[in-house]
Amino acid sequence: MSKNPSLVSQINKNRIPEHIAIIMDGNGRWAKRKGHLRIFGHQHGVGAVRQVLEAGVEVGVKYLTLYAFSTENWNRPIIEVNALMELLVDTIEKEIPTFMENGVRLKVIGNQEQLPEKCRNQLAEAMEITANNDTLTLILALSYSGRWDIMEAVKKIAVQVKEGILSPEEITEKHMDLGLDTAEYPNPDLLIRTSGEMRISNFLLWEIAYSEIYFTPVLWPDFTKDDFYRAIIDFQGRERRFGKTSEQIA
């Protein structure tokens, strides 16, 4: 339950964003402020993941994409990378019963080939077990970057052109949409970034063309259901014009 029931009641249940994407930032700073190692922040970040997942199910969000590990994160100290991979494996294993109880289907985007075998196996198992759940799809972006995904989509198109299946003049946005790891999901309606940083950091570059963006200074481990509801309420107060005028969409 929300600590602030009036916040949930402010949400218009008929205009829930279908897809929310989150850049979960600030774990390291949160830990440092408390005099701990960065991994302590990541461990507490799992609690915030649970909060947004529960809140998403409660209000009827259909897709939730979490930026859990970027292509660039491989450059972090090996001790942090290993600890993060282990945390992911442990968390996914532990959370499978909760996913089943709440109808959560797990999916992954990103270069899975780069992930440790144990992590790949755990993800494959969790995706198989949860494959028929249809309340909410949780998409973890792992070893993911928007530019990497765009490059992969371009390569697929180039192969089709080379094989004579497609001519350059026939290429449309749809070909790009279908070549991306996110092909089967709608574009995010709302993108949230925590920790006060105002960057996109190579996340879903193609897909967020018309997403509403919400920045909050809250560090990820402190992010609660109420913060999630605040982002949805803010989103609902905006006018999405998709390049048109206000009059055209009225």
**Least CB distance to ligand FPP at residue 146 (A):** 15
Phi/psi at 7 (nearest 5 deg)?
A: -65, -45
Say whether residue 42 binds ligand FPP (CB under 6 A): yes
Q: What is the sign, positive or negative, of the torsion defined by CA atoms of 63, 51, 94, 195?
A: positive
List the structure tokens of 107: 């999916």
**Least CB distance to ligand FPP at residue 89 (A):** 9
**Least CB distance to ligand FPP at residue 200 (A):** 14
Region at 111 (left for phi over 0; alpha for psi -120 to 50; beta for the rest): beta
Instruction: Please identify, using beta-carbon distances, which residue of 139 and 190 lies nearer to ligand FPP.
Output: 139
Say whether residue 202 binds ligand FPP (CB under 6 A): no
Say whether residue 49 binds ligand FPP (CB under 6 A): yes
Is 73 an annotated catalytic residue? yes
- Of the residues 16, 20, 22, 24, which one makes contact with ligand FPP according to CB under 6 A: 24
Instruction: Please identify, using beta-carbon distances, which residue of 33 and 240 lies nearer to ligand FPP.
Output: 33
Say whether residue 88 binds ligand FPP (CB under 6 A): yes
Residue-wise DSSP of 150-211: HHHHHHHHHHHHHTTSS-GGG--HHHHHHHSTTTTSPPPSEEEE-TT----TTSSTTTTTT-
Instruction: Kindly identify the residues of this chain, within the stretch 94-153, that bind ligand FPP according to CB under 6 A.
Output: 140
Give the 3-state DSSP-derived string for 66-119, with helices as H, strands as E and coil as C.
Answer: EEEEEHHHHHCCHHHHHHHHHHHHHHHHHHHHHHHHHCEEEEEECCHHHCCHHH
**Distance between CA atoms of 178 and 132, rounded to whole angstroms?**
22
- Of the residues 11, 22, 45, 143, which one makes contact with ligand FPP according to CB under 6 A: 45
Instruction: Please identify, using beta-carbon distances, which residue of 27 and 145 lies nearer to ligand FPP.
Output: 27
Catalytic residue (choose from 4, 73, 133, 187): 73
189: amino acid identity, one letter: D
**Distance between CA atoms of 221 and 44, rounded to whole angstroms?**
5
Choose the binding region for ligand FPP from 65-73, 149-157, 179-187, 240-248 (rule: CB under 6 A): 65-73
Instruction: Please identify, using beta-carbon distances, which residue of 28 and 110 lies nearer to ligand FPP.
Output: 28
- Of the residues 7, 46, 129, 200, which one makes contact with ligand FPP according to CB under 6 A: 46
Q: Parallel, antiparallel, or unpaired for β 212-215 and 190-193?
A: parallel
**Least CB distance to ligand FPP at residue 35 (A):** 14
The 10 Å Cβ neighbour count of residue 181 is 21
Say whether residue 52 binds ligand FPP (CB under 6 A): no
Which are the catalytic amino acids?
Answer: 25, 73
Binding site for ligand FPP (CB under 6 A): 24-29, 38, 42, 45-46, 49, 66, 68, 73, 87-88, 91, 140, 195, 220
